[in-house]
Amino acid sequence: MCERLVDLALVLARRTEQTGGISADEVRSSIYPTSPNTDAADKMFARDRELLQSAGLAIAGDNRGIYRLVTDASYCEPITLDADEAAALVLAGFALLDEPLFPLPLALRLALTKLSGLLGTAAAGDGGVLRRLAGTARLTAGDDEAAAGVIMPETLLRAVSERRVLTMRYVPAPAGTAGVASAVTDTDRVQSSDSPARPTDTAAAAIRTVEPYGLFLLGARWYFVARDCVRDGVRTYCLARVRELSVGDKAGAFQIPDDFDVRDWARLPFEIGTEPTRRVTLLIPAGHVADISGLTRGRGSLSTAPAGEPDGDGTADDAMEWTVDVRDTERLLTFVLEHHLFPAPHEHELRAQLVRGLEQVVADHG
């Protein structure tokens, strides 16, 4: 039922934005295709509307049988969270990360990733809840990792806030594995594996002395951005690959650049994966262009879509083309659906994969 309610809410929101509403007939065919008859489907629709309304979504219907989402009465005003509020919200999310019955695991990971910018930015503050969160949430730990001595995020947060230099044994990513590439310039680029270090990897660890600038969460793993004191470059490291971390005695040993923002270093979910990096082009409909910076996070390149190019809503007038690197197609398709994007017309294989995925969902859930 939970998935059906989510589908109904998304359909109502989408069709309200596109055409001003959706007919009861279309709701029956798209949401309740297996109902034995019209009366049964109408009863389920009425019950589901009540459930959605109890959750805060205002749904209106007219005498023509057209239903729409009343956006002004449904959506909250923008909410600004301070560091402790964001940390408390993330802590609640952690409890559901490994819950097999939670219906929206990918959406939860995406939400936690978005909140991680606040976590990293606020590390220099008092952050009482933030510190308790970091000390409690072992995002990277399995039994083998715990036995190997996984470093907890709390240590990094304290080092960032107190400006203490770190000396660590860092296990490099094995050749050919996926990673997070983080750089200011190409010469500073380094890849950190998305997979945690195994105990047997420790022998390959290299000594690194770094000045930590910030911490962020991506794909249910912690990463931190730091300046390598020997190589004199700012890089991203995967916390799960750190061993034998030592925190310097001197507080205030370095300064974080005024223009540093850890959110600039966080990547999009589909930029981590085991696939070879490839570049794809997506269409951002005109209705979403206003939030384009939050959507793309400055990744990839943007251009105006060719006049008349179809974007799933008809034509792409005032739409944008977004070209971005991808290393995980499944995560990309999830991102496309969650943000109402469309593969560009020339992305034939990506479009075919999206159709196959949707057909599989229909086959699995009827």
The answer to whether the beta carbons of residues 363 and 356 sit under 8 Å apart is no
Measured over all CA atoms, what is the biggest interatomic distance in the chain, rounded to whole angstroms? 74
Quick check: 211 pLDDT over 90? yes
Comparing 104-118, 299-313, 326-340, the range with the smallest average pLDDT is: 104-118
pLDDT average, residue stretch 270-287: 85
The C-alpha atoms of residue 162 and residue 326 are separated, in whole angstroms, by 36
Q: What is the pLDDT of residue 317?
A: 55
Quick check: 178 pLDDT over 50? no
DSSP structure string for 36-49:
SSHHHHHHHHHHHH
**Domain residue spans of the chain:** 2-74, 83-262, 278-365
Quick check: 227 pLDDT over 90? yes
Quick check: 97 pLDDT over 90? no
Indicate the CATH number for domain 2-74. 1.10.10
278-365 adopts what CATH topology?
A: Alpha-Beta Plaits (3.30.70)
The per-residue pLDDT for range 251-264, each reduced to its tens digit, is 999 999 988 888 77
